[in-house]
Structure 1
Amino acid sequence: MYKKRVNYYLSYYRSAFIYFYKRLFYIFCGALLVSISLQLFLIKNHVIDGGIVGVSIILSHISSIEIGLSLLLLNTPFFFIGYSYLGKRFLILSLFAISVLSLGTHVLEPYPSITNNPFLVIVLGGVILGLGVGIVIRFGGSLDGTEVLAILFNKRSTFSIGQIVMFINFFIFSSSIFIFGLKEAVFSLATFFIAYKTIDFSLKL
Structure 2
Amino acid sequence: MKNIAQKVNFTDYLQKFSFSVVYAILASIAVNFFYQPGKIYSSGITGVAQIITTLSKDLLGFHLPVSANLLILNLPLFLVGWYKVGHKFTIFTGITVVLTSLFMQIMPEEVLTTDPIVCAIFGGAVMGAGIGYALRSGLSSGGLDFVSIAIQKKTGKTVGSISIIFNILIMFAAGLLFGWQYALYSAIAIFVSGKVTDAVFTKQKKMQVTIITRHPDAVIHHIQDKMRRGITIINEAEGAYKHDKQTVLLTVCTRFELPLLRQAMRESDPRAFVSIAENVQILGRFYEEEL
For residues 112-127 of structure 1, the aligned pairs below 5 Å read 112-127=110-125
Greater strand share, structure number: 2
For residues 1-205 of structure 1, the aligned pairs below 5 Å read 8-63=1-56, 64-108=63-107, 110-204=108-202
Distance 2:142 2:164 in 1: 13
Distance 2:109 2:164 in 1: 29
Which whole-Å deviations, capped at 9, do the CAs of 1:95-126 have from their partners, x for residues lacking one? 11111111111112x43321123332122111
- Number of equivalences: 197
CA RMSD of aligned residues (A): 1.4
TM-score, length basis structure 2:
0.65
Which whole-Å deviations, capped at 9, do the CAs of 1:55-86 have from their partners, x for residues lacking one? 11011001022211111111111112211223
Distance 1:27 1:105 in 2: 14
| Contact in 2 for aligned 1:97/1:142 (Cα 8 Å) | yes
> Rg larger in 1 or in 2?
2
Structure 1 counterpart of 2:38, one-letter code: N
Q: What secondary structure does 1:156 align onto?
A: helix
Which whole-Å deviations, capped at 9, do the CAs of 1:157-176 have from their partners, x for residues lacking one? 02101111110000110111
**Which 4+ stretches in 1 moved above 3 angstroms?**
none
Distance 1:55 1:24 in 2: 26
Which whole-Å deviations, capped at 9, do the CAs of 1:144-165 have from their partners, x for residues lacking one? 3211000111111021011111
Higher RCO (CA 8 Å, separation ≥ 6 residues): 1
TM-score, length basis structure 1:
0.91
| Contact in 2 for aligned 1:31/1:136 (Cα 8 Å) | no
**Which consecutive residues of structure 1, in runs of 5 or more, have no partner in the other structure?**
1-7
Distance 1:123 1:24 in 2: 28
Distance 1:147 1:191 in 2: 17
Greater helix share, structure number: 1
Of all paired residues, the percent bearing the same amino acid is 25
Q: What secondary structure does 1:155 align onto?
A: helix
Moved more, 118-127 or 148-157: 118-127
> Structure 1's 43 and 111: CA in aligned 2 closer, same or farther, altered over 3 A?
closer
